[in-house]
Amino acid sequence: MSIPRNNNLLIEHVIKADETEAEKMLQQGFSMFDIGEATDFSGRKCKGSAFELAAVVGDDEMLEMMKRYLKNNRQEVEQLKAIVLGEREGKALGPASIALASEWLAELEQKVEAREAADVKQAGISIAQGMRSESSALFKLPTELGAKIASFFSNNDTESSSADNIDAENIKKRPKKP
């Protein structure tokens, strides 16, 4: 897996605790969950995501800033899940960092599920409104045609009721069977 060069700069800002520069990169759309590699002040190479590296060193201020740039999407949920479960090639998290990542994951999942439910509800409302407007347009009849149809049914109703009366009279006139 190749490490994105641009994300390396974000990683460098995070491991050097340069919150201002890291925030600028997050504002530009860089992901705090993409893995990168950078060298810290002592010359050690650090590999991991910006989130993982900030969590490992316990940089709470950096993490709070990063939290404001969560995109609240399904992809971030999956990336954070992989971090919590240790399924990534990035920096291994300790218990405190896993607890923090789990907390973020729970909040993120709630927000994403609420947004997805709202999207589904809105889509259902839009579909229903579309169907209602189409069906009302389909069933609107010109006034003359509507009047003719109403007249037809009212005439048929009187004919059938008079036919029913004739049948009732004929039944009364029939001779009774012995």
Q: Given this model, what pLDDT does residue 118 score?
A: 86
Q: Given this model, what pLDDT does residue 69 score?
A: 92
pLDDT > 50? residue 4: no
Q: Given this model, what pLDDT does residue 172 score?
A: 55
DSSP-assigned states of every residue in the chain: -PPPHHHHHHHHHHHTT-HHHHHHHHHTT--TTSEEEEE-TTS-EEEEEHHHHHHHHT-HHHHHHHHTT----HHHHHHHHHHHTT-SSSPPP-HHHHHHHHHHHHHHHHHHHHHHHHHHHHHHHHHHHHHHHHHHHHH---HHHHHHHHHHHHHHHHHHHHHHHHHHHHHHHSPPP-
Note the pTM of the prediction, 2 decimals.
0.61
Instruction: Supply the mean pLDDT for the chain.
Output: 78
Q: What is the pLDDT of residues 139-174, one digit of tens each?
A: 554 555 666 666 666 665 554 444 445 555 555 565
